[in-house]
């Protein structure tokens, strides 16, 4: 993600302006690379943290009414800032150079290169003395005067690398450092800290593998013949979506990199935006070895006619022939003539009493770090160290083939972040918008950038509070505004919009919007299925569920190495009849501390208004 490209747009498609860009400097001892050769540039937005051994000595300046010494130094990037394009390129080059042979280096496929998040005490130290809002109160209390370090540890990258020749997966840790551009030509350097071979696993699939799997299947002669039986001679009409094999027997073991594709078919070769997902191909069983790009299993098990063409199943204006667009919606203009109420400094966001940092990973997508709330005289109160969605699984409930094998883990198998949208292409956000770019490595190790990947904007949210005095007839109302940080991704047929909302009443809300296209199945004429909904002739949607897994590393009023949060469950109880409840109307809230993960395996219970509170001891 590139904070150097700080863009503000007035509504979608509006003018953008770039913030000043910092020049890249660079570092270390193993692999060096110029910013341009690394896939970045001085305008690409990202230098590495100063190496401990080579950072310039800082100066100190008295700041705040308490005379706290604040370190003013050349340290450009916060420890939680996402890796820049240049850092990713250096990390990839460092790992590739560490290969023991040309064959090993050529076989390396880079699944992800992501920031290795530092220890929490390093983050607290950075927030206390190195970066705004300069809050030494966030540090644990110590005896005597605090020792202020002259520099922070260098940044590190974690890389997941798949060796296509050996079918092995390795996790690499690379330390990144920089030397000054004026003296060393602006080179970045990296040093391998560790490499760990992880047995019996397969890493996430890559977009390059999607394309290779489709080509492998469409060039397989028995598959071509099977499609001809269904009236399809033009392979350009065929869509092959690679799905992970899952694990149903030892044949699916991770000793092989397998895909069990789903097949679909468009009707017209000159209509690339036609909705091919509305014509699923059933009855063909195919398994692809993605390590070697070969079909290892194939069987035409059952002939099911293709669903008939229907232009109303398309969704683009040029393809919905016969459909009528609505004309009764008038324009709604969002305008903030004085600009937004939020302030941005790199990845640091301040809005109302909230402040936090924005991050991004190939697997999770948007990550919210260091959430805090400025609470009057109590100052900046920590709320959460880290917030994100780490996984999403979709089990399908149809026992027939191929639907019983649909059990997608869209984060772990594909990557929510790597499949994120560039919001330049649509009106996903309205108003005065701040965009953030995202950088990641593709399968071959080249750096790719998703421009305008994360959207930050304010939204009107109806009424926050209102009261009318019935005696005077006077009313007071306060409108609610919220700050929204979001991104949207596409995994094959489905879209997911992830939104983190911050409210003026102290509430944080996570929202996921499901959109896109259903994963459909074909029916024989006159057939219906118990485990799905018929949505059109010869077409049905299998029943399925979406489970989203959120990782919330809470830190309500917590400091590193001090008291951790406790989880308190609250249930409404009805008071027993007796002297304390003579009118049989009494009920109350009962609190219970959940002391272990085992105790915390709880269900929602609306009948008791069950909810959970987090805080330090004595909450």
Question: Rounded distance, CA 155 to CA 160, Å?
Answer: 17
The total of other beta-carbon atoms located within 10 Å of residue 126's CB is 22
For 417, phi then psi, to 5°, come to -70, -40
Contact 410, 394 (CB under 8 A): yes
Torsion sign over Cα 28, 29, 33, 39: negative
Q: Which residues contact 52 (CB under 8 A, 6 or more apart)?
A: 151, 153, 154
Name the residue with tokens 């059952």.
302
Question: Rounded distance, CA 94 to CA 110, Å?
Answer: 12
* Residue (of 128, 152, 154, 131) closest to 140 by Cα position: 128
Q: Choosing from 206, 398, 410, 437, which is the catalytic residue?
A: 410
For 218, phi then psi, to 5°, come to -70, -20
Pairing outcome for strands 280-281 and 108-115: unpaired
- 396 DSSP β-pair partners: 544
Q: Choosing from 347, 373, 396, 494, which is the catalytic residue?
A: 494
Question: Rounded distance, CA 560 to CA 449, Å?
Answer: 34
Residue 452, by phi and psi: left (phi above 0), alpha (psi -120 to 50) or beta? left
Helical spans, DSSP H, in 144-187: 181-184
Active-site residue, 162 included: no
CA distances (Å), 611 to each of 415, 479, 568, 606, in order? 31, 27, 9, 9
Q: Which residues contact 228 (CB under 8 A, 6 or more apart)?
A: none
Question: Rounded distance, CA 250 to CA 248, Å?
Answer: 7
Question: Rounded distance, CA 531 to CA 395, Å?
Answer: 13
* Residue (of 280, 516, 306) closest to 402 by Cα position: 280
* Residue (of 54, 561, 79) closest to 348 by Cα position: 79
- 433 DSSP β-pair partners: 9
Active-site residue, 247 included: no
Pairing outcome for strands 59-63 and 343-345: unpaired
Contact 431, 482 (CB under 8 A): no
Q: Is 372 helix (H, G, I), strand (E, B) or coil?
A: strand
For residue 410, give the DSSP letter.
Answer: I
Max Cα-Cα span within the chain:
86
Structure tokens at 28: 């270390």
Residues serving a catalytic function are 410, 494
């Amino acid at each position: 993600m590139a904070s150097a490209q700080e863009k503000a747009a007035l509504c979608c498609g509006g003018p953008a302006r770039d913030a000043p860009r910092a020049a890249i400097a660079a570092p270390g001892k193993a692999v060096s690379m110029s910013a341009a050769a690394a896939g970045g540039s001085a305008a690409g937005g990202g230098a590495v943290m100063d190496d401990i051994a080579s950072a310039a000595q800082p100066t100190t300046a008295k700041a705040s009414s308490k005379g706290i010494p604040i370190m003013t130094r050349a340290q450009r990037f916060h420890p939680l800032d996402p890796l820049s394009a240049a850092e990713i390129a250096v990390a990839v080059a460092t790992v590739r150079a560490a290969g023991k042979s040309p064959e090993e280096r050529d076989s390396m496929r880079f699944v992800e290169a992501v920031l290795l998040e530092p220890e929490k005490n390093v983050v607290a130290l950075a927030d206390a003395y190195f970066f705004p809002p300069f809050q030494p109160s966030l540090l644990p209390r110590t005896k005597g005067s605090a020792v202020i370090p002259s520099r922070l540890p260098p940044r590190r990258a974690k890389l997941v690398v798949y060796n296509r020749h050996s079918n092995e997966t390795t996790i690499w840790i690379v330390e990144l450092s920089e030397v000054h551009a004026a003296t060393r030509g602006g080179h970045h350097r990296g040093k391998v800290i560790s490499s760990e071979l992880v047995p019996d696993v397969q890493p996430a699939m890559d977009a390059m593998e999607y394309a290779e799997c489709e080509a492998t299947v469409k060039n397989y002669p028995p598959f071509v013949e099977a499609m001809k039986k269904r009236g399809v001679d033009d392979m350009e009409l065929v869509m092959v979506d690679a799905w992970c094999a899952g694990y149903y027997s030892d044949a699916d073991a991770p000793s092989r990199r397998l895909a069990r594709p789903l097949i679909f078919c468009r009707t017209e070769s000159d209509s690339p935006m036609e909705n091919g997902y509305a014509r699923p191909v059933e009855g063909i069983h195919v398994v692809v070895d993605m390590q070697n790009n070969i079909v290892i299993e194939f069987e035409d098990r059952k002939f099911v006619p293709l669903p008939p063409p229907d232009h109303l199943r398309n969704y683009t204006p040029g393809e919905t022939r016969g459909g009528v667009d609505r004309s009764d919606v008038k324009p709604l203009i969002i305008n903030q003539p004085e600009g937004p109420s939020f302030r941005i400094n790199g990845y640091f966001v301040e809005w109302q009493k909230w402040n936090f940092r924005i991050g991004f990973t190939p697997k999770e997508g948007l990550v919210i770090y260091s959430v805090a709330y400025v609470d009057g005289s109590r100052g900046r109160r920590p709320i959460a160290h880290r917030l994100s969605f780490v996984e999403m699984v979709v089990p399908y409930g149809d026992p027939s083939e191929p639907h019983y094998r649909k059990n997608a883990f869209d984060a772990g198998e594909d990557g929510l972040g790597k499949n994120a949208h560039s919001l330049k292409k649509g009106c996903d956000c309205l108003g005065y918008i701040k965009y953030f770019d995202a950088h990641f490595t593709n399968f071959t190790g080249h750096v790719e950038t998703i421009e305008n990947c994360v959207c930050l904007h304010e939204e009107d949210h109806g009424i926050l509070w209102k009261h009318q005095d019935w005696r005077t007839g006077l009313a007071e109302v306060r409108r609610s505004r919220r700050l929204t940080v979001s991104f949207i991704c596409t995994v094959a047929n489905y879209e997911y919009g992830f939104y983190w909302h911050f409210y003026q009443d102290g509430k944080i809300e996570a929202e996921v919007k499901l959109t896109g296209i259903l994963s459909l199945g074909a029916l024989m004429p006159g057939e219906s299925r118990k485990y799905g909904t018929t949505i059109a002739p010869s077409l049905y949607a299998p029943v399925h569920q979406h489970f989203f897994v959120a990782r919330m590393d809470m830190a309500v009023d917590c400091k590193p190495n001090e008291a951790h949060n406790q989880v308190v469950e609250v249930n409404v109880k009805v008071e027993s009849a007796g002297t304390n409840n003579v009118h049989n109307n009494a009920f109350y809230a009962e609190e219970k501390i959940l002391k272990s993960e085992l105790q915390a395996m709880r269900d929602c219970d609306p009948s008791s208004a069950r909810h959970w509170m987090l805080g330090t001891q004595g909450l």
